[in-house]
Amino acid sequence: MHIGNRKQPLAVASRHHRVPSIRTIEQFRLQSQEKASIEAMRSLAQSENSAGDSLLNFVQTSTTTAIDVSQKLQQVKNSKSTNVIYPESELAGKLKTVSQLIASEIGARVYYVEIDGFDTHAFQAPAHTALLRELGDALKAFAEDLLEKGMQEQVLTMCFSEFGRRVAQNASDGTDHGTAAPMFLIGSGIETGLIGKHPSLSNLDNGDLKFHTDFRQVYATILENWLNCDSSLILDKQYESLPLFVAS
């Protein structure tokens, strides 16, 4: 499930399933809450008139998914949230929603949220400082919330960026788009410390860091060892696993 104001990211796109994308629990609801109206929409969406029409089938499937998810989320909205005090940031609000949804057991296994602002072509130092503080404070509250709910061993948090930054500072006191970037994994079953080599700041590839770990190895390891599924079906190739999890 994607939670955010932007369009659904490709990371959660699927050929075979409709992935819900919501801004907030409160906003994801049908305009009419009358049972008769909802059942009429569901009946229309489940009719067999879409045979052979892929576009109509897509609309019907999406409608059915929206109705089901909306009804589940309205139940979640009325449930107890948490005693943990989250920061007043957009990311913290999203993670608070995620914690509430996980505790409500609505069935989603992956939740995707975003934080913007890291495209720091100018005046990077103050912006980066504020962004990392927002990220760290939100993750801290989320971890405390999971601990309070007794779910810390059931949740793995992965942080990644869509792009890295170049090593050298530009003329605007920022950095331009680069290649390699760090990934962070947070969870009670994760091996602590740095996995792989620390990147060299002098041995560069035309000004870019040389990445040493294919991010698809991280994906593959999580898919195989956390979600218990065949990673090759998703990544179209078998990637070597990494020592990310504590041996049981």
Mean pLDDT of 132-145: 97
Q: Write down the domain spans for the chain.
A: 2-152+161-180
**What CA–CA distance (Å, rounded) separates 70 from 241?**
37
**What CA–CA distance (Å, rounded) separates 85 from 91?**
14
pLDDT at 32 (0 to 100)? 55
Tens of pLDDT, residues 168-200: 999 999 999 998 899 999 998 899 999 988 889
pLDDT at 187 (0 to 100)? 93
**What CA–CA distance (Å, rounded) separates 138 from 96?**
9
> What CA–CA distances, in Å, run from 175 to 20, 181, 198, 206, 207?
35, 13, 20, 14, 11
For the whole model, what pTM was predicted? 0.82
Mean pLDDT of 88-102: 93
Q: What is the mean pLDDT of the chain?
A: 86
> What CA–CA distances, in Å, run from 218 to 4, 65, 164, 222?
24, 30, 17, 6
Mean pLDDT of 136-144: 97
pLDDT at 79 (0 to 100)? 63
Whether the CA torsion 80, 86, 88, 94 is positive or negative: it is negative
Greater model confidence, 57 or 80: 57
Tens of pLDDT, residues 20-70: 788 877 766 665 555 656 566 566 566 665 556 677 777 777 777 777 777
Give SS3 for 22: strand
